[in-house]
Amino acid sequence: MEFKFYGHACFSVTLADGKVLLFDPFITGNPLAGSVDADAIRADYILVSHGHGDHTGDLMAIAKRTGALVISNAEITDWVKEEGYENVHPMNFGSRQFDFGMVHYVPATHSSSLPDGSYGGNPGGFIVETGEKTFYYTGDTSLTMEMQLVPYYARVDVAIMPVGGNFTMDYKQAVIASDFIKCNKVIGVHFDTFGYIVIDQKAAVQAFKEKNKELILPEIGQSILL
Ligand code: NI
Ligand code: MN
């Protein structure tokens, strides 16, 4: 299973069978992601955590080019259909078996509106049990007690969490979140893209190290074998 970072909170996970899950496509609007060619990104599924532009900026273009199945809350998939794209799977908070694995769409503590101002449903995160590894992408969220429920139904091997603060958890709260979900391997996202979320990367990595946990802060374009 390979994680690839496209900047901000956009990444893909490629499974052993070659299927590509793309999360929260936002490339062309990212001032740091100039090296990424959004037109070359592969996707068989696109999972969207919430409606904000820094998670949906390139959604329609990539969906239309790839034909990927868009999985998100029903408000977002309805919006995608209004934008002229039909291959969607609506969810709300709950679990569903897909051909690539089990998906739990779980609450995030945040907000969600679409780029045109329309209602984006409740913001969420995804726990994906692929049969290889289980990963949890929390989406944009503050630290929330909801996370304490996760170990009751999923054993998370790696978590992908925002660490930039201001709009989401900061890295210190992400350490606590990793305790809540009983996972010691975290990939940090949602940092450094804008002035509000610039972090001290060394301090962030150290904060995890002190708790015998690992924080990876990926470079844009970097691939990580999970
Ligand atoms: Ni957001
Ligand atoms: Mn965001």
Q: How far is the CA of 50 from the centre of ligand 2 (A)?
A: 8
Phi and psi angles of residue 171, each rounded to the nearest 5 degrees, phi first: -70, -30
Q: How far is the CA of 189 from the centre of ligand 2 (A)?
A: 10
DSSP letter at 58 equals T
At 91-105, the pLDDT tens digits run: 999 999 999 999 999
Q: How far is the CA of 167 from the centre of ligand 2 (A)?
A: 7
At 141-166, the pLDDT tens digits run: 999 999 999 999 999 999 999 999 99
Rg (CA), the chain: 16
Residues 196, 62: Cα–Cα separation, whole Å: 27
Nearest residue to 56 via CA among 80, 36, 84: 80
Q: Could you please report the per-residue DSSP string of 113-134? A: B-TTS-B----EEEEEE-SS-E
Containing 90, the helix (H) or strand (E) segment is strand 88-91
Q: How far is the CA of 55 from the centre of ligand 2 (A)?
A: 6
Q: How far is the CA of 149 from the centre of ligand 2 (A)?
A: 23
Inter-axis angle of helices 201-209 and 171-180, nearest 10: 30
Q: Which ligand is nearest to the CA of 50?
A: 1
Which two tokens mark 203?
Answer: 């301090």
Give the three-class secondary structure for 70. strand
Q: How far is the CA of 1 from the centre of ligand 1 (A)?
A: 26
Q: How far is the CA of 53 from the centre of ligand 2 (A)?
A: 8
Q: Which ligand is nearest to the CA of 9?
A: 2
Ion ligand 2: residue ranges with CB closer than 5 A: 54, 140
From first to last of its 226 residues, the chain has per-residue pLDDT tens of 999 999 999 999 999 999 999 999 999 999 999 999 999 999 999 999 999 999 999 999 999 999 999 999 999 999 999 999 999 999 999 999 999 999 999 999 999 999 999 999 999 999 999 999 999 999 999 999 999 999 999 999 999 999 999 999 999 999 999 999 999 999 999 999 999 999 999 999 999 999 999 999 999 999 999 9
All domains of the chain, ordered by start, with CATH?
2-217 (3.60.15.10)
